């Protein structure tokens, strides 16, 4: 008995030591990332690329947002034998968001997502009044080729691959319509019209073919949208922005943060339109995400650097973070992330600059994929956050920040139980 107890204690001790070593290694990896970035930064300074100018990569980039109708011909044939529905329900409104990089004047590489505004549903499969939803999400990588038709009008074709993820329907553990993830082709065509050097209007149709082996019908989407082309700021104007010392932009800064679930998750729920107040449910603004899991406590160490800034109101930053958190059932895990940040300065005074920020799809390694018995996908996921903050002090060298965070894989995988991080309060210091 004593030997058994000693073994358990030894295993527990070794587990704690291993966990500590893992966290220390991750912390050193994070610090190493900062050191490397500092070396790259020094080289950039030598090359004299101004922070008020876009990097060569960004200067050839664009993003587009497109909205329209989506159609997939689901039927009872898709359900497992022995199950039928009385009908289907589909909201055809959908969107497609794209980030693109111009390989040449007429050829671009695109990364994006296709998804409906609300999920498709089968009616009355097991009982009257029941609605069973099917979640389908497609992330795409494609090549887009423009063919000039008129002076301001291009016809284009698109060819690439799509990661299609479907969350199906289950009766306990019995599949009625199985979940699946698979790779398929994506085809597209359309017309774009140049309004000016920055904005294009787009009309396009996107097609994902039927997959018999995965019991998935074809997907057809038609959308209308706009494309914004990032343009390099002329050097003389960029130098003028930098020489104007009226507006503060930090070159780089670090901060340390802590959050506790004891404060609740009302903010997370409000900005994902899931808050409850009195008789009202689904209260809020749907501009963020909540999650199936809620962290109990969180510690974060974050580094951020300004990559591009305008004259006064906006900056595009990039960063890296190490985040450690606990859950109500005493799971402990960490996440390593790199991420972009959109920062908007709302008002400025002599001693304080107030901002809001927003970050999405920051590639992340998370140390566990099963948390509190819930499967969240794989160790690859995304980090998102939004918040407000201030720079203050005699030279605005100090930073206070409060934000909410979220981890999920964006339905790249069939299992996507998101993690909600409570309000994180951070204190930071700007670096030269």
pLDDT, tens digit, 9 for 90 and up, residues 281-303: 778 888 999 989 999 999 999 99
Does the pLDDT at position 420 exceed 90?
yes
Out of 205, 229, 253, a domain closes at 229
Same structural domain for residues 104 and 162?
A: yes
Read off the pLDDT of each residue in 53-70 and give the average, rounded to a whole number.
92
Same structural domain for residues 258 and 395?
A: yes
Residue 9 is assigned to a structural domain of this protein = no
Same structural domain for residues 36 and 93?
A: no
Same structural domain for residues 225 and 79?
A: yes
User: How many structural domains compose the chain?
Assistant: 2
Read off the pLDDT of each residue in 189-213 and give the average, rounded to a whole number.
97
Which one, of 162, 142, 91, 80, lies nearest residue 120 by Cα? 91
- Please answer whether residues 402 and 428 qualify as being in contact, where contact means their C-beta atoms are separated by less than 8 angstroms: no
Same structural domain for residues 183 and 327?
A: no
Residue 200 is assigned to a structural domain of this protein = yes
Does the pLDDT at position 271 exceed 50?
yes
Residue 204 is assigned to a structural domain of this protein = yes
Report the run of H or E that residue 87 belongs to, with start and end.
strand 87-89
- pLDDT band of residue 49 (cuts 50, 70, 90) is low
Domain membership of residue 258 as a residue range: 22-53+235-431
Same structural domain for residues 74 and 179?
A: yes
Total length of the chain: 432
The pTM (predicted TM-score) of the whole model is: 0.80
Does the pLDDT at position 85 exceed 70?
yes
Residue 2 is assigned to a structural domain of this protein = no
- Residue-wise pLDDT for 122-171, tens only, equals 998 888 888 899 999 999 999 999 999 999 999 999 999 999 999 999 98
Same structural domain for residues 256 and 344?
A: yes
In angstroms, the CA 166 to CA 141 distance is 18
Residue 15 is assigned to a structural domain of this protein = no
- Please answer whether residues 315 and 308 qualify as being in contact, where contact means their C-beta atoms are separated by less than 8 angstroms: yes
Report the range of poorest mean pLDDT among 76-80, 100-104, 150-154, 277-281. 277-281
Out of 180, 200, 229, a domain closes at 229
- pLDDT band of residue 366 (cuts 50, 70, 90) is very high
Same structural domain for residues 248 and 219?
A: no
- pLDDT band of residue 30 (cuts 50, 70, 90) is very low
Domain at 324, CATH number: 2.40.160.20
Same structural domain for residues 79 and 210?
A: yes
State the average pLDDT for the chain: 87
Residue 14 is assigned to a structural domain of this protein = no
Same structural domain for residues 156 and 250?
A: no
Which one, of 198, 190, 107, 194, lies nearest residue 150 by Cα? 194
Q: Are strands 419-431 and 293-294 parallel, antiparallel or unpaired?
A: parallel
Same structural domain for residues 151 and 136?
A: yes
Instruction: Write the DSSP string, 26-70.
Output: HHHHHHHHHHHHHHHHHHHHHHT--TTS--TTGGGEEEEEEEEEE
Same structural domain for residues 316 and 413?
A: yes
Out of 168, 199, 229, a domain closes at 229
Residue 176 is assigned to a structural domain of this protein = yes
The answer for residues whose C-beta is within 8 angstroms of residue 122's C-beta and 6 or more apart is 74, 79, 85, 87, 88, 89, 131, 132, 134, 169, 177
- Please answer whether residues 407 and 381 qualify as being in contact, where contact means their C-beta atoms are separated by less than 8 angstroms: yes
- pLDDT band of residue 426 (cuts 50, 70, 90) is very high
């Amino acid at each position: 008995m004593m030997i058994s107890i000693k073994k358990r204690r030894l295993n527990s001790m070794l587990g704690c030591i291993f966990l500590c070593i893992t966290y220390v290694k991750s912390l050193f990896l994070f610090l190493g990332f900062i050191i490397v970035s500092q070396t790259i930064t020094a080289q950039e300074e030598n090359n004299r690329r101004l922070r008020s100018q876009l990097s060569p990569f960004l200067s050839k980039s664009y993003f587009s947002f497109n909205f329209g109708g989506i159609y997939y011909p689901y039927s009872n044939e898709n359900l497992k034998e022995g199950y039928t529905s009385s009908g289907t329900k589909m909201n055809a409104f959908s969107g497609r968001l794209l980030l693109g990089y111009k390989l040449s004047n007429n050829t671009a590489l695109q990364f994006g997502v296709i998804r409906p505004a609300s999920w498709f549903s089968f009616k009355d499969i097991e009982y009257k009044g029941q609605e069973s939803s099917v979640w389908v999400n497609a992330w795409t990588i494609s090549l887009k080729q423009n063919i000039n038709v008129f002076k301001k009008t291009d016809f284009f074709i698109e060819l690439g691959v799509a990661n299609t993820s479907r969350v199906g329907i289950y009766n306990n553990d019995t599949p009625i319509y199985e979940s699946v993830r698979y790779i398929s082709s994506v085809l597209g065509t359309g017309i774009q019209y140049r309004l000016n050097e920055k904005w294009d209007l787009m009309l396009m149709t996107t097609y994902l073919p039927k997959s018999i082996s995965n019991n998935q019908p074809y997907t057809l989407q038609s959308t209308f949208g706009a494309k914004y082309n990032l343009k390099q700021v002329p050097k003389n104007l960029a130098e003028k922005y930098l020489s104007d010392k009226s507006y503060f932009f930090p070159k780089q800064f670090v901060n340390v943060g802590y959050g506790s679930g004891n404060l609740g998750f009302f903010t997370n729920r409000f900005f994902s339109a899931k808050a409850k107040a009195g008789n009202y449910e689904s209260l809020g603004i749907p501009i963020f995400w909540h999650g199936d899991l809620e962290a109990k406590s969180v510690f974060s160490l974050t580094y951020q650097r300004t990559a591009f800034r305008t004259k006064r109101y906006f900056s595009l930053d990039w960063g890296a973070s190490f985040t450690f958190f606990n859950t109500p059932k005493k799971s402990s895990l960490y996440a390593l992330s790199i991420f972009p940040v959109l920062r908007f300065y709302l008002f400025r005074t002599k001693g304080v600059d107030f901002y809001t920020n927003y970050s999405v799809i920051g590639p992340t390694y998370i140390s566990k994929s099963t948390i509190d018995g819930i499967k969240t996908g794989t160790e690859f996921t995304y980090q998102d956050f939004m918040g407000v903050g201030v720079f203050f002090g005699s030279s605005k060298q100090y930073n206070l920040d409060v934000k909410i965070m979220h981890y999920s894989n964006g339905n790249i995988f069939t299992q996507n139980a998101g993690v909600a991080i409570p309000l994180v309060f951070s204190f930071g210091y700007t670096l030269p």
